[in-house]
Amino acid sequence: MMNLDILKEKLFFMPDATRGAVRYLTTKQLEETGTQALVTNTLHLLVHPGPDVIQQLGGIKKMMGWNGIVFTDSGGFQVFSLLHSKKWKGKVHENGATFKSPKEGNTYELTPESSIDIQMKIGSDVLVTLDDCRDTNLSRKEAEQSVERTLKWAVRCKDRFSKDYGGTKNTGKLLTAVVQGANFPDLRSYCARELVKIGFDGYNFGGYVVDGEGDLVVDEMSAVIESVPKDTIRYAMGVGKPEDIIRAAKMGYNLFDTVLVTRNARHGTVYTSEGILRIKNSDMGLDMRPVDSECDCECCQNYSRAYLHHMLKNGEATALTLLTIHNLTFYQKLIGGLS
Ligand SMILES: [Zn+2]
């Protein structure tokens, strides 16, 4: 069995392998960036190919040929944001959510128990409890309701994981919980302390980590980190920009993920030791330098900004692969430097 306790000690950055793949990268390329853990999206995998298919194929790690660590989310954040924004049809209720996938038209039910079942079938190493994630700008009352429901669901998830699967002892897997409480630091702290009483392997800062101006919600994040033990996973979900990761790490968070790394790469926006660079800009057209002279990734060791600019302008997928390799390598070095 894999030793997952390292997740409670060191700092990790996880790229998003939403559907069981980090877009444009092979698993070998992913390993070469120094990535040790990734996070997959339970909702997307639930809809396609479905947890039973994944289980039949030996789990997501076998499918990917990936020897590292796999996290799953609970599927809640995605479902609730799709339902709240009315992009998907369905409803949130006391037991979770019932919804219809617009593509296949199938109806699904996500409950605390089914969320654990799905994550088990996917074959992740670290599972997450289903939480009542709501919109931004909640009233105090709505935030309190969300916290109470999140706590109830956390108990049900833990029961499912311990009683039906035998917990960590039997599975070797870890279970983490999500802290809600919107932008009320005292509610955040209350939610975190109650979850600690129930007992989990880690505590994830849920909901929105940045405010309307894009700034980290530092007060709420501090309230949570001060309420959880240091020898657990302390996951700042969706953080974020390099400067935000540095800030959250100083506060005591040790696990991060963001779609920015891979998404920016696909748009030609890259992180370097001298700041952000936009490869699509016309001044890159004759620039013979590598993306980052201090980087030893496959992209920087072999190709010029000008060549990448040319490929991006012409829609060559190879450029997307190379820039994703670079951005991810940059993030893993950043994390390595903070450890
Ligand atoms: Zn590089």
Report pLDDT for 82.
Answer: 86
**Cα(299) to centroid(ligand 1), Å:** 5
Let me know whether 283 and 160 are in one domain. no
**Cα(332) to centroid(ligand 1), Å:** 11
Of 207, 228, 258, which one is at a domain's C-terminal end? 258
Distance, in Å, from the CA atom of 158 to the CA atom of 197, rounded to the nearest integer, reads: 12
Please list the residues that pair with 178 across neighbouring strands: 204
Let me know whether 216 and 309 are in one domain. no
CB atoms within 10 A of CB 141: 8
Please state, in angstroms and as integers, the Cα–Cα distance from residue 105 to each residue in 38, 89, 202, following that order. 29, 10, 35
Tens place of pLDDT per residue across the chain (339 aa): 678 999 999 999 999 999 999 999 999 999 999 999 999 999 999 999 999 999 999 999 999 999 999 999 988 888 888 888 888 899 889 999 999 988 888 999 999 999 999 999 999 999 999 999 988 889 999 999 999 999 999 999 999 999 999 999 999 999 999 999 999 999 999 999 999 999 999 999 999 999 999 999 999 999 999 999 999 999 999 999 999 999 999 999 999 999 999 999 999 999 999 999 999 999 999 999 999 999 999 999 999 999 999 999 999 999 999 999 999 999 999 999 998
CATH assignment of the domain containing 90: 3.20.20.105
Q: Is 203 helix (H, G, I), strand (E, B) or coil?
A: strand
User: The tokens of 237 are what?
Assistant: 């979900």
Whole domain around residue 329: which residue ranges? Answer: 265-338
Distance, in Å, from the CA atom of 173 to the CA atom of 166, rounded to the nearest integer, reads: 10
**Cα(246) to centroid(ligand 1), Å:** 20
**Cα(290) to centroid(ligand 1), Å:** 8
Please state, in angstroms and as integers, the Cα–Cα distance from residue 83 to each residue in 89, 185, 295, following that order. 6, 26, 42
**Cα(313) to centroid(ligand 1), Å:** 20
Let me know whether 241 and 289 are in one domain. no
Which residues have C-beta within 8 Å of that of residue 316, sequence separation ≥ 6?
none
Distance, in Å, from the CA atom of 5 to the CA atom of 11, rounded to the nearest integer, reads: 12
Report pLDDT for 71.
Answer: 98
Q: Looking at 73, 125, 131, 292, which residue is catalytic?
A: 73
Distance, in Å, from the CA atom of 76 to the CA atom of 83, rounded to the nearest integer, reads: 10
In the numeric block, the tokens 């030791």 are attached to 273
Distance, in Å, from the CA atom of 219 to the CA atom of 209, rounded to the nearest integer, reads: 11
- Kindly report the CA angle at 97 between 93 and 98, in degrees rounded to 5? 110
73 is catalytic: yes
**Cα(47) to centroid(ligand 1), Å:** 35
List, as one string, the DSSP characters of 109-168. Answer: EE-HHHHHHHHHHHT-SEEE-------SS--HHHHHHHHHHHHHHHHHHHHIIIIIH-HH
If phi over 0 gives left and psi between -120 and 50 gives alpha, with beta otherwise, what is residue 199?
left
User: What total number of domains does the chain contain?
Assistant: 2
Let me know whether 103 and 186 are in one domain. yes
Evaluate whether 87 touches 150 at the Cβ level (below 8 Å): no
Q: Is the dihedral of CA 190, 196, 198, 200 positive or negative?
A: positive
Let me know whether 227 and 307 are in one domain. no
User: The tokens of 161 are what?
Assistant: 């994981």
| pTM of the predicted model over 0.75 | yes
Let me know whether 190 and 292 are in one domain. no
Let me know whether 46 and 137 are in one domain. yes
Report pLDDT for 2.
Answer: 79
Q: Which has the closest alpha carbon to 331: 288, 270, 281?
A: 270
**Cα(181) to centroid(ligand 1), Å:** 39
257 is catalytic: yes
Report pLDDT for 75.
Answer: 85
**Cα(293) to centroid(ligand 1), Å:** 8
**Cα(273) to centroid(ligand 1), Å:** 10
Report pLDDT for 96.
Answer: 94
Let me know whether 162 and 282 are in one domain. no
User: The tokens of 334 are what?
Assistant: 């950043």
Taking a 5 Å cut-off on Cβ, the residues next to ion ligand 1 are 295, 297, 299-300, 326
Let me know whether 146 and 242 are in one domain. yes
Q: Cα(first)–Cα(last) distance of the chain, in Å?
A: 25
- Name the helix (H) or strand (E) containing 236: strand 233-236
Let me know whether 67 and 85 are in one domain. yes
Let me know whether 235 and 301 are in one domain. no
Q: Looking at 16, 131, 244, 257, which residue is catalytic?
A: 257
